[in-house]
Amino acid sequence: MENAVVLDRLTKRFGRFTAVDEISLSVRTGEIFGFLGANGAGKTTAIRMLCGLLLPTSGSGSVAGFDIYRRSEQIKLNIGYMSQKFSLYGDLTGYENLWFYGSVYRIPAGSLKARIGELASSLELEEFIRRPARSLPTGWRQRLALAAALLHRPRILFLDEPTGGVDPVFRRRFWEILYRLADGGTTLFVTTHYMDEAEFCGRISIMHQGRIVAAGNPQELMRTYGQNNLQDTFVHLISRGGADA
Amino acid sequence: MRKLYYIAAKVMRHIIRDPRSLVIAILMPIMMTLLYGYAINLDIKNIRLAVLDFDRTSASRELANKFFNSGYFRVPGASADLMDPERILQSGRADAILIIGPGLAKALEKGESFELGLTIDGADANYAAAAASYSQIVLGSFLKEHAGALGRAPGIALSQRVLYNPDLKSSHFFVPGLIAIILMMISALLTSVTIAREKETGTMEQLLTTPVTPLQVIIGKVLPYSALALLDGTLIILFAVLHFGVPFSGSVALLFAFGVVYVIAALSIGVLISTIVNTQQVAMMAAMMATVLPSVMLSGFIFDIDTMPAVLQCVTYIVPAKYFLLIIRGIMLKGSGVGVLAIQAVFLTALAAVLLGTASKRFKLKIG
Amino acid sequence: MVQTIAALIRKELLQIRRDRIMLRLIFIMPLVQLLVLGYAVSTDVKFIGMAVHDCDRSSLSREFVRSFSAGDYFIPRDSGLPLLEIERGFQENAYDAVLIIPPDFSKTLAAGGAARAGFIVDGTNANAAAISLGYAGIITAQFNGRTASREVPISLRQKVLYNPEGESIYFMVPGIIAVLLTMITVMLTAMAIVRERELGTLEQLVVTPISTPALILGKTIPFAILGFVEMSIALAFGVLWFKIPFAGSWPLLYALAFIFLFTTLGVGMFISTATRTQQQAMFFSWFFSIYTILTSGFFIPIANMPAAVQYLTYLNPLRYFMKIVRSRNASSSSCGR
């Protein structure tokens, strides 16, 4: 099975500031990969490079088998992206939003209609899809954003803090949906602040000051660093990483 | 009071942190002053006059020179075609043609009546009207010089005098008026857009969940912009006086007091607009319609209210800029005091009070 | 590419349609502007309030005053103020000019001497003051001619081409259409991309396979359409309501407007990508609009401006379009112009 994401010593500098410092990692197809790190650790810069929005300074990488330097167009066709901030059009209805994004991903009108119906029922959005997106409760808005990111059946889904500001019940159900997706073969690349969520991931990496300080299965990591939970592991790694930086 | 201070300080920080906007907010009035001061000159000069002289005498040449030396007319780049003189107007290479038929010199000598022809491109009616009356002025002075030869009685001599602006500088008229426009633009446009921005990005909701009252939010938002507006006004006045030599003959304190009343009226319109709209785009368009357009067009800033149709003249009574224009021109150019400006002052204050009342009522209803 | 652009246009028009106030503004704005500007904009100097101080009170002095009321230029009336306080009337804006006739006026004239009359004008509005000075001079010269019981020997027969009634509306309305087109297209386009940036929706757009040219086209075409709709409404209104004779060719006007729109949409797009907030975009587009309108010759003849400013106007796209609409409409000149 090929790897969905492969990074080798990927680096991004802004002037003299190194935002991402030689990170290497690989994400297997169908895996849920947790990309953790404190604010300002360089997560967002890394994700922007993976999505083809930013050119790296050095190092190499491929997403869905496409080179991140030269094939950003192909990458964009094969990934979905959903961010912490609601970024759909509030004045349009859910359906109009989905129709717009579907057209942008060049889905033919006939199959787009069916696809929207399919997603709406699997994400239980039918009730809300005709209302202006602005008027939806946060949890439903997030599902709508997920639906928009899934329209074109991406092979890899990037989720940037997808559950920010959502209550625990909604979060739990959101993760159930993510598991279903992963079972269907979609690779999930998730950043999160919630350590209990990070435990849902098959593998995680922890980033600090532009570097990956640890990576592996959450349970393994806890054992390796002798901590009882992921939260403590995270704090332990960050303070240690801070010391040798 | 402290909360107010925090909000105002926050907005002030926003303004200062956004150097592009700040630069424009300060540069724009100066640029506009320069443009209005130099570029805007409604006196029509340099009308391109093609002369067709069939008389070819010293008298006819003298008449033509009289036209060109008047300052109103100048020689066009092309000369008129004898067979089809109007072609030069059609092609846009001249604005008027003066046709001097044969016999002018003879008619002058004998005191006979004689007719000259003037054909004017009427596409711009104002320009055409000016060309018509200027040519009469030139002809009048030509005849006056030949009056002796014509044996005319001296008649009435009109001695003319111009008050307040003896050099007839357009900048004295436009630059003080510009202050009315800029104050309105900054106060109404910026407030409506800045409040709409909080609504659009959802930060208004967040602000209202804190223990600040809506009224405090508004006052806090409005204060920095009124300060900016008054600063701009001061800049323009300094520029007008120092650079363009516009006189300031009245009381500075009085002008400042009226300026504050005017800014209150403008800010109220801005708040009123922000209670109606939800996005910055719409706020901008609405503010343009409700404030900038009437302040420029219906205030007497450029176009004389007396020549407007009656319906429009009625509309001008609710345009705050109309009163402020009369006040600022009166104070700066004529040195008017409170006594003579009483009517304008009453109207402006009443208008500001009504606008402020409506705005705060609607604001409580819609946002508070 | 085509499907993507079509989707963007559809979305943009949907958003415009969704906003009721915006929609109303878009349609009402050109009409209100046309009405207000069409009627208000006139730099004709007429109906000048003139206070009269007739110290002579003879039939000759009354006749002289009466000659000022011909032709709607002056409205003579008694000042009602003592001679020493006439300045008060200027300050109260009660009148703009004063005519003073000294006590020995008719006696001097009868004796064949030169009688002096005084004419004082409020110079605040420099243009109006200069014109009223001119009118007063002409009226006096004509009066002199008449009292000398002979016509002014040399007269000027004036003929006005293309707009013989001297309607400034014929000239202003096409100009307003050009101004409207500039303001709407520059401002709305300027806000188009920066708005998505500010609201965060741009983030979602850039991860889709939309190419930059497609994004720019999809963001400008809706406003070009809007510009054409606005122009058509304004033109229809101008022709049907103001009865402006339209002598030129419609397709040519639209084709030239299309070329003109490239410049305004381009500027708008540039502003939109160079700014970070809608407020900044608004500021910049305002600045651009004001500059272009002022230096386009819309109501200030370019020939009047100082040489340096005149050169600046060559950089102004509206300057050319202003010439185009006005000549298309007002006269029947050919395309070569």
Cβ A105–C207 below 8 Å, yes or no?
no
Confidence of residue A244 (pLDDT cuts 50, 70, 90): very low
Does the predicted model carry a pTM greater than 0.90? Answer: no
Which ipTM did the prediction report? 0.79
C158 touches chain B (CB under 8 A): yes
> Which whole number is the average pLDDT over B139-150?
69
Q: Has residue C278 got a pLDDT over 70?
A: yes
Among the ranges given (B123-137, B237-251, C109-123, C202-216), the one the predictor scored with the smallest mean pLDDT? B123-137
For residue B294, the chain C residues in CB contact (below 8 A) are 36
Q: Which residues pair with A189 in a beta bridge?
A: A33, A158
Q: How far apart are CA C268 and CA A12, in angstroms?
A: 32
What confidence category does residue B132 fall into, taking pLDDT thresholds of 50, 70 and 90?
confident
Residue of chain C minimizing CA distance to A84:
C200
| Residue among C3, C13, C142, C2 at smallest CA distance from C68 | C142
Confidence of residue C40 (pLDDT cuts 50, 70, 90): low
Q: How far apart are CA C281 and CA B241, in angstroms?
A: 32
Bridge partners of C262? Answer: none
Residue C233, CB-side half-sphere exposure with 13 Å CA sphere: 17
pLDDT at B213 over 80: no
A105 closest CB neighbour out of C18, C209, C211:
C209
Interface residue of A89, A112, A155, A160 to substitute, partner C, most C CBs within 10 Å:
A89
In angstroms, how far is the first alpha carbon of chain C from the final one?
38
Whether residue B239 contacts residue B33, with contact meaning beta carbons closer than 8 Å, is answered with: yes
Pairing between β-strand A32-37 and β-strand A187-191 as defined by DSSP bridges: parallel
User: Is B122–C158 a contact, with Cβ atoms under 8 angstroms apart?
Assistant: no
> What is the strand order of the sheet B47-53 is part of?
B73-74, B47-53, B96-100, B114-121, C154-161
* Residue predicted with more confidence, C39 or A231: A231
Is C71's Cβ below 8 Å from some Cβ in B?
Answer: no
What residues in C contact B288, CB-CB < 8 Å? 29, 183
CA nearest to B214, candidates B10, B4, B15: B4
List the one residue out of C17, B192, C15 whose CA is nearest residue A134.
C15
Max CA pair span of chain A? 58
Q: Do B152 and C148 touch (CB under 8 A)?
A: yes
Q: What pLDDT score does C243 carry? A: 79
Chain C residue numbers touching B193 (CB-CB < 8 A): 278-279, 282
Give the Cα separation of B288 and B270 in Å (integer): 10
Helix (H) or strand (E) holding A50: helix A43-50
Dist. CA C137–CA B137, nearest whole Å: 7
| C336 pLDDT more than 70 | no
Nearest to C269 by CA among C218, C235, C308: C218
- What span, in angstroms and rounded, lies between the C-alpha atoms of C278 and B189? 13
**Partners for C (CB, 8 Å, 3+ pairs)?**
A, B
- A49 to chain C: nearest residue by CA? C207
CB of C140 within 8 Å of a chain B CB? The answer is: yes
Instruction: Tell me if B63 sits within 8 A of B96, measured CB to CB.
Output: no
Res C153 pLDDT > 60: no
Q: Is C64 helix (H, G, I), strand (E, B) or coil?
A: helix
The CATH superfamily label for domain C48-147 reads abc type-2 transporter like domain (3.40.1710.10)
- Which residues in chain B have Cβ-Cβ distances shorter than 8 Å to C277? 18, 21, 197
Q: Do C7 and A87 touch (CB under 8 A)?
A: no
* Contact list, A91 vs chain C (CB under 8 Å): 15, 18-19
> What ranges do the domains of chain B cover?
47-163, 170-367
pLDDT (tens digit, 9 = 90+) per residue, A141-198?
Answer: 888 999 999 999 999 999 988 887 778 888 888 888 899 999 988 999 998 877 878 8
Half-sphere exposure of A67 (CA within 13 A, CB side): 5
Number of neighbouring beta carbons within 10 Å of residue C1: 12
Q: Closest by alpha carbon to B206, among A91, A165, A141, C197?
A: A165
End-to-end CA distance of chain A, in Å? 36
User: What mean pLDDT, rounded, does chain B reach?
Assistant: 80
* pLDDT score of A54 more than 80: yes
Lowest mean pLDDT among A200-214, B318-332, C243-257: C243-257
Share of chain C above pLDDT 70, in %: 85
pLDDT digits (tens, 9 = 90+) for B58-77: 888 998 998 888 888 888 88
**Cβ-contact A161, A192 below 8 angstroms:** yes
- Output the pLDDT for position B254: 92
Strand partners, B158: C117
Name residue A164's amino acid: G
Q: What percent of chain A has pLDDT over 90?
A: 34
Task: Please enumerate in sequence order all residues whose Cβ is within 8 A of that of C253, keeping only pairs 6 or more positions apart, or say none.
Answer: C324, C325, C328
Identity of the residue in C6, C204, C211 whose CB atom sits nearest the CB atom of A87: C204
* Least confident segment among A103-112, B331-340, C52-61, C147-156: C147-156
Structure token pair of residue B214: 């809506």
Instruction: Quote the tokens at residue B166.
Output: 């003896």
Strand, helix or coil at A167? coil
CATH number (3.40.1280.10, 1.10.390.10, 3.40.50.300, 3.40.1710.10) of B47-163 reads 3.40.1710.10
Cα A158 from Cα A147, distance rounded (Å): 13
Distance between CA atoms of residues A139 and A142, nearest Å: 5
3-state secondary structure chain B: CHHHHHHHHHHHHHHHHCHHHHHHHHHHHHHHHHHHHHHCCCCCCCEEEEEEECCCCHHHHHHHHHHHHCCCEECCCCCCCCCCCCHHHHCCCCCEEEEECCCHHHHHHHCCCEEEEEEEECCCHHHHHHHHHHHHHHHHHHHHHCHHHHCCCCCEEEEEEEECCCCCCHHHHHHHHHHHHHHHHHHHHHHHHHHHHHHHHCHHHHHHHCCCCHHHHHHHHHHHHHHHHHHHHHHHHHHHHHCCCCCCCCCHHHHHHHHHHHHHHHHHHHHHHHHHCCCHHHHHHHHHHHHHHHHHHCCCCCCCHHHCCHHHHHHHHHCHHHHHHHHHHHHHHHCCCHHHHHHHHHHHHHHHHHHHHHHHHHHHHHCC
Q: Confidence band (pLDDT; 50, 70, 90) for A6?
A: very high
Give the C-alpha separation, B151 to B134, whole Å: 25
Q: Which of C204, C205, C217, C219 to mutate to test the interface with A (most CBs of A within 10 A)?
A: C204
Tell me the Cα Rg of chain B.
28
For the record, the structure tokens of C201 come out as 């929706």
Check residue C151 and give its pLDDT.
47
| 8 Å CB contact between B181 and B233 | no
Three-state secondary structure along C21-41?
A: HHHHHHHHHHHHHHHHHHHHC
The pLDDT of B257-267, averaged and rounded, is 92
Between CA B272 and CA C207 the distance in angstroms is: 39
Contact yes or no for C115/B117 (Cβ under 8 A)? no
pLDDT confidence of B265, banded at 50, 70, 90?
A: very high
- Spell out which residues of chain C touch residue B144, defining contact as CB-CB under 8 Å: 141
Q: Is C101 left (phi over 0), alpha (psi -120 to 50) or beta?
A: beta
Residue C210's SS3 state is coil
Average pLDDT of C81-99? Answer: 82
Residue-range domain boundaries for chain C? 2-41+168-326, 48-147
Q: Which two tokens stand for residue C33?
A: 């502007």
